[in-house]
Amino acid sequence: MPTDAFASCLIRALGLTANDLAEIGGWSGLRMAQHIMSGTRPCPADALRAIQDVHDDIESITDELVQRLESGEAAIRIPRTIEALRAEWPHWPGRGKAAGGFLGPFQIAAHTAAAILDEEGVEVDLIWSD
């Protein structure tokens, strides 16, 4: 079984916030999420599985962004809010008790897609979608 530090490190590496974690876990407040992120409480198994699924989502989103850019999109649009992200990416699957789509993981995928194409000599702009 993973340690409490495992969950905390994974959550932070994915760019998830306490709000994101509370939504994934279905907790009404931030206290549980904050305790998990600080390592003072263990992450429930179902929430940890959902967080690991978010990790896997990054690869799928990265692949889709690369395909979009190779198909002619000029830039990667970065939503500023979770609501905007979910409106632009409605097919992102829900995780835990949360609707799909989280800003931190999306930004990781966007940066990774840009880096992949940069290695191929293709310059990619990341722009805020307002």
What is the tens place of the pLDDT at every residue in 52-94? 999 999 999 999 999 999 999 989 999 999 999 999 999 999 9
- What pLDDT score does 74 carry? 86
pLDDT at residue number 2: 55
pLDDT at 3: 59
What count of Cα atoms within 13 Å lies in the side-chain half-sphere of residue 13?
12
Sketch the domain layout of the chain as residue ranges: 4-129
Superfamily of domain 4-129: Putative cytoplasmic protein (1.10.3100.10)
- Overall pTM > 0.85: yes
Percent helix / strand / coil, the chain, rounded to 5 = 60, 10, 30
pLDDT bracket for residue 46 (50, 70, 90): very high
